[in-house]
Amino acid sequence: MREQPLPDFGGITGWTKARIAVHTPGRSTTTIAKALRRLADTGRAELIGDDPERYRPFPA
């Protein structure tokens, strides 16, 4: 997420669980969604939209 903070494809900006799943084979989208929510809860990522949920990382 840090190398490309906000991907834009098909009119949807931000990281979705499906986009991350493409780069992390073997991980379920449910697990990725839980991790993204945890990152948002701890302030390491920001929820920027829903349906689908989209996130962006906060700068380090």
User: How confident is the model over 6-49, as pLDDT tens digits?
Assistant: 666 667 788 999 989 988 889 999 999 999 999 999 999 999 99
**What proportion of the chain, given as a percentage, has pLDDT over 70?**
80
**Is the preceding omega at residue 52 within 30 degrees of 0, hence cis?**
yes
Global confidence as pTM: 0.77
Strand 54-57, strand 12-13: pairing: unpaired
Q: Which residue has the higher pLDDT, 56 or 4?
A: 56
What is the set of domains in the chain, with CATH numbers? 10-57 (1.10.10)
* Rounded CA separation 30/13 (Å): 20
* Per-residue confidence (pLDDT) for residue 3, from 0 to 100: 62
**What proportion of the chain, given as a percentage, has pLDDT over 90?**
52
The type of residue at 22 is: V
Beta-strand ranges (E) seen in 1-60 are 8-9, 12-13, 45-49, 54-57
